[in-house]
Structure 1
Amino acid sequence: MDAWRSDPTLAMCAALVDGAELSSFVGGPFDVRAVVAGIRPEAKAGFLLDEVPWEHFPQGHRVKEAVHLLHTGGSPAGTGAGIVGGMCANDMRAAAVLAVPFLIRIAADTRHPHRANALAEASAPARARYFGIASRDELLLHRANTPYDDHYDNYGVEVTGYPAGWSVAAARTAITADTALLQPLLDDPEPAIRIDAAYALATAADHEHAVRAAFRTRLAVEPDPVVRAALVLATAETTRAHPHPPTSTWIREQWQDRTQAPEVRLAAAIGWLCLTDQPAPDDLHATVDHLATDERAHAMEALPWMAFAGGSRETGLRRCIRKLLHPKQPDPADCDDPWCPRH
């Protein structure tokens, strides 16, 4: 315990445990929101990693090394982007947030061999508690807090004691600052890149609705039905953060439109349910029951919203349908076998 309290990477967390006021750290060297906002554009572009105070945040040295290895072409498995995703899965986002601007630049480099891995991890710190989350109240939810909003209680604290809301806000600030780098990826030749770009952009602050407009623009020309579903879910997520009734109406029209691909209609039904507190109408139930085949549920696992929503025995689509439309149904028994099939 004494070693933990004296660890400089946990200084703020230890002080909070000892009764210090969180407000006393706002804007300081242990406020990851301030640190991210203060990274110079030249440092981001030049990967000047030594300018970033990784040492102020738990496991920061590991994240710095991961970014370095990924940038220089090191293996992304375990030593690169996987470190960032793994830390977020373990509810340790503060240091992972510092990697976001650099991951975005790797993803934007069309010549980089690990750009897809970098992009897939870039938005992980921008969402808290999203593994297995599929309820109407929480799916597609990220709170549009201002950068220095101290009301982080809705997110609680990370396993280290660091305020999780600060990490999420910092990650969203980093993504918002780089929307100009991410938006062109919506037109990337690779469907997986287009999906992950939409997933990342959905967490950006979008007060001027430019991001939502970019989703709609891409949707007008997108040929892949699963990518189209991603664009609909991304539109719903950004609309939940920045309410826009006409867009909510448009999303409802998508699941009612029989000319749309089934994946799009299912994504629109899920998105609309998360944007309204109205009871699910009978025609929505009928649409979902008809379209949600096992084959389609597995195909939609390519969408990170669905992949992260699922459980050990359920695909993300099945879990969303159960949680959104039949919330009183119990969860299926967990499976200890990591290769347990999801249905």
Structure 2
Amino acid sequence: MSWRGEPGISVRWDEGYRVFHAGTVEDVRFVVARIPAEAKDNFDYGVVPWDRFHHSYGPGTDVPAALEQVRTGNERSVRMAFHRLWSSLLHSDTGCAAGALAVPFLIRIALMRADYRAEILTGLAGLARRQHYGDGSRTGLLRAARADDQLVFEASGYLGNWSVQAAREALAADAGLLLPLLDDPDPEVRQGVAHALAAAAAAGPCETIVQSLHVRLRVEAGPAVRACLVLAIGQLAWEERHPAVIEQMRTWWQDPSRPAEVRVCSALSWLCLTDGPVPGGLRAFLDDAAGGEIAALLGRIPWMLRVDCEGDGLRRCLDQMYHPEKYPHFTSLLD
């Protein structure tokens, strides 16, 4: 590319790959943040430089057609379009720069297509999180991505850290559109929107998101959705380790009057938000839960499916939390 950036612009690179300049047109975060609101609302894909950013199979120039097919197509064509989108933008559950560009449009398509809303929300959450590789550890379960994460490069050579951050910031910018879905009649949608909102960048409207999650939790009747709401609250506090949330999670898991799934997910969140030894009482409580019906319930929620897609996520998650020495590869991913 001919663009060389401006003097003083920070640079990220890897041996043998292209050079990228932060805060320029080579930075997908910069580009996504400057998509005009009217272009997003009117699905004006033409304002986006799709050719400049790639997915798993090449330039993102084919993404607008697939998005439009999902927005307007019939069932058969939509399924074909989804196949193209997810195989390109979330190949092996790993996002990309072209996927970050698609986030604002996918948010709006989710509002229009109730029949595919849950699936789109799952995709949005995937684009806004690093590849976890089954990491359910105390440092991994609630980790979306952070500036100090190990550098990851996409198949195109592009800096994947920037793609994830761009997707997270796009979710944060349009969180107001997604918040009403916390009241959607479909419990899978309510789970999905909690998962997606939890990945939103922690700046900006984060406080509004957290407040909305609390409001929904007070009236939510679905156990699986309640579990997702608690984990979302914990995740949004993870990067800053908010003391008030740490104390709240401790209070919730110790409260026998609260539903079992709320207590278990509060205990998991507390472990992720703290660094000390696992208290004996907390471990006994979680071990008991892992052998009961609650484990099957939690095994189907998005966070646990990322740990184990076969439904054994809670047990695997606890093993990773109790015995980090058995999983050094997860630690190495974050060094």
- TM-score, L = length of structure 2: 0.84
For the 8 Å contact 2:289–2:295, the answer to whether it is kept is no
User: What is the aligned partner in structure 2 of residue 73 from structure 1?
Assistant: 73
Distance 1:311 1:71 in 2: 28
Matched, 1:101 2:127: no
Deviation at 1:140, TM superposition (A): 0.6
Aligned equivalent of 2:141, options 136, 139, 142: 139
User: What is the aligned partner in structure 1 of residue 47 from structure 2?
Assistant: 51
User: What is the aligned partner in structure 2 of residue 275 from structure 1?
Assistant: 273
Question: What are the Cα deviations for residues 285-328 of structure 1, in whole angstroms up to 9, with x where unaligned?
Answer: 1111111236433322332111111166x622121111012334
For the 8 Å contact 1:73–1:113, the answer to whether it is kept is no
- TM-score, L = length of structure 1: 0.82
Matched, 1:176 2:172: yes
Distance 1:118 1:294 in 2: 31
Matched, 1:156 2:152: yes
Identical aligned residues as a percent: 39
3-state secondary structure, aligned to 1:173: helix
Summarize the Cα distance change of 1:177–1:302 in structure 2 as closer, same or farther, 3 Å threshold: same
Question: What are the Cα deviations for residues 27-55 of structure 1, in whole angstroms up to 9, with x where unaligned?
Answer: 33332111111111111111111221111
Counterpart residue identity of residue 33, structure 1: R
Question: What are the Cα deviations for residues 42-93 of structure 1, in whole angstroms up to 9, with x where unaligned?
Answer: 1111111122111111231343232111111354435227623663243351
For the 8 Å contact 1:70–1:81, the answer to whether it is kept is no
Aligned equivalent of 1:323, options 312, 315, 320: 320
Structure 2: 5+ residue stretches without partners: 2-12, 329-335
For the 8 Å contact 1:134–1:323, the answer to whether it is kept is yes
For the 8 Å contact 2:17–2:157, the answer to whether it is kept is no
Summarize the Cα distance change of 1:221–1:100 in structure 2 as closer, same or farther, 3 Å threshold: same
User: What is the aligned partner in structure 2 of residue 234 from structure 1?
Assistant: 232
Alignment RMSD: 2.6
For the 8 Å contact 1:120–1:196, the answer to whether it is kept is yes
Counterpart residue identity of residue 39, structure 2: A
Distance 2:83 2:237 in 1: 29
Deviation at 1:236, TM superposition (A): 0.6
3-state secondary structure, aligned to 1:96: helix
Using the TM superposition, name which of 63-72 and 203-212 deviates more. Answer: 203-212
3-state secondary structure, aligned to 2:185: coil
Aligned residues: 309
For the 8 Å contact 2:145–2:161, the answer to whether it is kept is no
